[in-house]
Amino acid sequence: MKDLMTKGAALGTILALLVLSFSWVYAEAPKTAGPKVNINTASQAELEGLPGIGPKIAEQIVQFRTQNGNFKKIEEIMKVKGIGEKLFNQLKDLIAVSAEVK
């Protein structure tokens, strides 16, 4: 009986390791795949699709560019209230100021 339990535990461990080794297959694809979001032309809904950007900040981005003109570089998005360096670092690989395609 003890031998059967040991074999069961070993089999369980092997199975768990096997499942974990293939977990990367099911991981969500990073949002960096595909074209970047042009912050000069994106709609509020498109901006809300970016991580950390909700309706309020998306609206502030649209208002900012309406009042100040297009962003010349992506770093200028930090001039928008609510977007600091931490959020910018999450966005920088996902946004563009022209029709850049990854």
Angle at 8 between CA 6 and CA 10, to 5 degrees: 70
Residue 26 has pLDDT above 90, yes or no: no
pLDDT higher than threshold 50 for residue 11: yes
Phi, psi of 43 (to 5 degrees): -75, 170
Q: What is the pLDDT of residue 98?
A: 86
What pLDDT does 100 receive? 53
Q: What is the mean pLDDT of residues 8-17?
A: 56
Provide the greatest CA pair distance for the chain: 77
* Separation CA 46–CA 26 (nearest Å): 26
Which pLDDT tens digit goes with each residue over 40-91? 999 999 999 999 999 999 999 999 999 999 999 999 999 999 999 999 999 9
As a whole number, mean pLDDT of residues 25-42 equals: 68
- pTM value is 0.65
Domains and CATH numbers, the chain: 37-96 (1.10.150.320)
List the one residue out of 47, 29, 30 whose CA is nearest residue 38: 47
Looking up tokens 């309406």, which residue turns up? Answer: 66
In this prediction, residues 12-31 reach a mean pLDDT of: 49
